[in-house]
Structure 1
């Protein structure tokens, strides 16, 4: 789909003057633009100087011309002194302008950098607070990506243009008065010639905004293709699929390039058309001034003034059109931030009391993922008592991991209730979630030290290195710390020269340490905790299981049924339902799904 066929609530949006003004007020408030008052005061001072110059220069040019002609005719020393003084004044104005311009650019760059950092921080903070369902929604993710790419720059542009418009308006007023006092007809001609620009430049802005909205997906596609092409994944070499990645990258890149080319053609055409009436009005105005010189005896100095003033006024009117439309254009991106602001956040509670002796209950729980019509959890009802050791088993896609997402409140049930000590988890999810410590199947591998990868398990307190080393000893992380000269302070990932990589099994041990470092929790949830462990490490984990989990309720999801021998209850999932519930011996005697799964695995170990 091309840009010009693209339609959505973003691509077709346009704000009026009132809407733009409201957005500007909101932007100043939301992003603390007025915080750096020292820089803003300097900028305002510079803008005041810039306001004086446009009207001063034409007047000085007029006086230079008239005084020069007078000196040529009279040769008077006094006239020469006056001419010299005027030239010095014009020189000083140019020096001042040359001096303050780089200062102005420096201040603007500083303010824009602050705005960029502030905006990205707010986007990151908001994204960290919104519900998980939004992050897993492709359309919402595209909108967030769109904001992350375009919002920081456009907020900076919006605020800077709002300052610049003050200078432009002052220039139009001051130079306009000068032109109208000299010849009102010339002023009217210039203004009339500038009006069509607004319409055509608005069309250009519509195209550019629609392109920005459309380009989010193909830009993300080529970004992912590029990341895959340079990834450390051995499959890209073993299976030689780099050519496929390259083909996808080129396809997305060509799509963007072609649309950019089309956008440039249309924008160039509209800008050319918009400049035509202004050019005609400029020629007519100059002709009128020449007519007055020839027939009305207009002085050469006044002619010089009018030439400069007409050019300045036309430039200011063009800048006014561009800046006003740029403000309304960039305001659209800022308005899109309201979409992100209005997304539901995870509730934050000031309650510091973490429930103890946790009893868990599911009451007729049903769940369907957002954007899907397939029910994943179908009427589950069960109770889990404090201290129970539970294994959840079942085929892929049977709802095991989803069950833990609902239990921890990461997703809201479609119907039914999840209760913690009789309280619905939706009542205070932030507090109730602190009951749990989890190792998810899709756990986070962060580009930070081993110690910090463990510390993120409990960000509510200060965790010392001694405590990190202790948990490393308990979980077997210390077994491979000797491979790294910096021990727990070894940076993981590919960031920098000292980045180190861990094996899948080593990462899994770090994740278990991350879960166990969390204090005050009553329930441990392990989703495939042994999937990447070698048999020896797996056997050691089973041996240490009761020591590590102590008296905490433990829920373990695993396809390896060896874990079922050390738990006292097994839940068998099939097609979103719990079809079997009991201990190992009871389920084996029932000769049901669990029994078949168990003996299917056991035969390979005979």
Structure 2
């Protein structure tokens, strides 16, 4: 079984070689050539060493022939040293190129995967493993291969020397290396298994490390005196990781110790036999020197070659993790024969009996959700926390696809449109928007990186979002770095200031469909009132959806939808829903009462 697993794992070696060839074909070929050279030179040096010893033993003195042999030996030694250093240089360049190439590939692949991928813990493990093996395992596999090749070439040269004198010595050494071969074969599986089963615990330990070193958690960590508790939690997972890895190291270490003892014993029994041959005059002193060096070299290089093959097996198992990560593919794909987007900017959306359940969830969010967003209309969606309001945004923008029913845009299933073009019609401020550690200008421009910067639109978006006052207050204006992660002169914004930057980002996109998910969550009362007054201007000429649980901001909407129990239970204007005296009236009056206000039905 271990042999079968080993052969299966080694099937990824050609993939690793292709990756290295793509990263730098010329460098890879040079490394192989230098490796072959480093394998051939030691046997040649051993042969010249024998000739030098025989010359000295003959008593011929310091003749020109002796100095020619010494010079040749010296040139071979210089060539070996140069080849070794050049190989290291080319390997370092190849490693850096490979790391850069794979980093880009992993980031690109991760960015194309569905949100669903990131909601499964095992997938996070796969992503962690992929990041861990970046540029390391493929390079190590090739180094193991070329080093084993170099050592095998050296062994082959010395074996020819031994065969010329006593073939049985080679058989004895090979038999003595069987324990080393078995230890090398098993060590890869044992080491890989210890890392594989520790991935989840290692990721948890790294999570606590990140908390203790991030600015986001720094305040609570100090206010709640969390550091000792977090360190204890971190240590709990880290200790389990270390125990598994040390146990694996101990098991493999014992195997290699046994193998080394058997191999060394066999080598010195063979050396004793060679010494006897020299003492009885059956071989020359030069022959003895060559054979002694050959015996040491064969055992040493074969042991190293077996160890490298064992590491090759181990690295190929780890590389399989990277390979499996690339096997993940997005479920949300562009259609094979896409339909063109409607030319009209009055986009109308219809949810038809939509059913949706998050991966791993025991209950569906929606089972048969139906409603419409009318073109050019400002619609507000309200409901209690957890009702599924943000899930509607994810479905509408095709971050997820429904498992039941369909969503139509101007009468066409949204899955029939080109994915990138479809998402381009939305300008969105998400509830959990990103606070980029970039300049204020870049924080807004990221909304439309596919187009050249438009300063007029940038200024207008900031004005509409009331972010212009934030920008003016910054020491370097638009060029000020937001956040201090990379620049000690960077500015830390308040939650409300960040909210305005995020709103400006959505508006800069100037998309025909505007989605505002809790846009006033971080704003103070005055700023919230300003946004409320500007709501009509923000949504003019657009199909818009405002999602909020703060009902004082929805009165200017053309329509208000009340979401509850996975369904739209009420639909109408603010005045209509108050007159109805239903769920919206209950929510609105309950919220108004917290401010001491009374609400009467119109």
Please say whether Structure 1 and Structure 2 have the same fold, judged by a TM-score greater than 0.5.
Answer: yes
Give me the TM-score of the superposition, normalised by structure 1: 0.92
Distance in 2 between residues matched to 1:13 and 1:197, nearest whole Å: 15
Deviation of the 1:204 alpha carbon: 1.7
Moved more, 373-382 or 466-475: 466-475
Deviation of the 1:45 alpha carbon: 3.8
Distance in 1 between residues matched to 2:502 and 2:22, nearest whole Å: 44
Q: Which residue of 2 aligns with 1:517?
A: 508
Q: Which residue of 2 aligns with 1:496?
A: 487
Equivalent in 527, 552, 556 of residue 537 of structure 1: 527
Q: Against the structure 1 CA distance between its residues 598 and 364, is the aligned structure 2 distance closer, same or farther, given a 3 Å change threshold?
A: same
Task: Give the match's secondary structure for 2:491.
Answer: coil
Q: Which residue of 1 aligns with 2:375?
A: 386
Task: Give the match's secondary structure for 1:36.
Answer: helix
Q: Against the structure 1 CA distance between its residues 276 and 505, is the aligned structure 2 distance closer, same or farther, given a 3 Å change threshold?
A: same
Q: Which residue of 2 aligns with 1:273?
A: 258
Equivalent in 393, 411, 416 of residue 405 of structure 2: 416
Q: Is the 8 A contact 1:151 1:333 kept in 2?
A: no
Give me the TM-score of the superposition, normalised by structure 2: 0.92
Q: Is the 8 A contact 2:172 2:266 kept in 1?
A: yes
Equivalent in 328, 352, 363 of residue 343 of structure 1: 328
Distance in 1 between residues matched to 2:214 and 2:32, nearest whole Å: 49
The C-alpha deviation readout for 1:262-291, integer Å capped at 9, x for no partner, is 232222212112223312221221122123
Distance in 1 between residues matched to 2:235 and 2:313, nearest whole Å: 34
Equivalent in 127, 134, 137 of residue 154 of structure 1: 137
Deviation of the 1:211 alpha carbon: 1.9
Deviation of the 1:509 alpha carbon: 0.8
Deviation of the 1:561 alpha carbon: 0.3
Deviation of the 1:500 alpha carbon: 1.8
Q: Against the structure 1 CA distance between its residues 109 and 382, is the aligned structure 2 distance closer, same or farther, given a 3 Å change threshold?
A: same
Q: Which residue of 1 aligns with 2:53?
A: 65
Q: Which residue of 2 aligns with 1:460?
A: 450
2:320 counterpart of 1:320: no
Q: Against the structure 1 CA distance between its residues 317 and 199, is the aligned structure 2 distance closer, same or farther, given a 3 Å change threshold?
A: same
Task: Give the match's secondary structure for 2:177.
Answer: helix
Structural mapping, 1:62-461, within 5 Å: 62-71=50-59, 76-77=60-61, 80-232=63-215, 233=217, 234-295=219-280, 297-345=282-330, 346-348=332-334, 354-355=341-342, 356=344, 357-428=346-417, 429-461=419-451
Task: Give the match's secondary structure for 1:152.
Answer: coil
Question: Unaligned 5+ residue runs, structure 1?
Answer: 1-11
Q: Is the 8 A contact 2:429 2:519 kept in 1?
A: yes
Deviation of the 1:218 alpha carbon: 2.2
Deviation of the 1:125 alpha carbon: 0.7
Deviation of the 1:352 alpha carbon: 11
Q: Against the structure 1 CA distance between its residues 24 and 262, is the aligned structure 2 distance closer, same or farther, given a 3 Å change threshold?
A: closer
Distance in 2 between residues matched to 1:27 and 1:486, nearest whole Å: 48
Deviation of the 1:480 alpha carbon: 1.5
Task: Give the match's secondary structure for 2:355.
Answer: strand
Distance in 2 between residues matched to 1:14 and 1:367, nearest whole Å: 43
Q: Against the structure 1 CA distance between its residues 284 and 465, is the aligned structure 2 distance closer, same or farther, given a 3 Å change threshold?
A: farther
Distance in 2 between residues matched to 1:351 and 1:503, nearest whole Å: 43
Q: Against the structure 1 CA distance between its residues 338 and 101, is the aligned structure 2 distance closer, same or farther, given a 3 Å change threshold?
A: closer
Q: Is the 8 A contact 2:349 2:410 kept in 1?
A: yes
Equivalent in 500, 512, 516 of residue 526 of structure 1: 516
Deviation of the 1:466 alpha carbon: 4.2
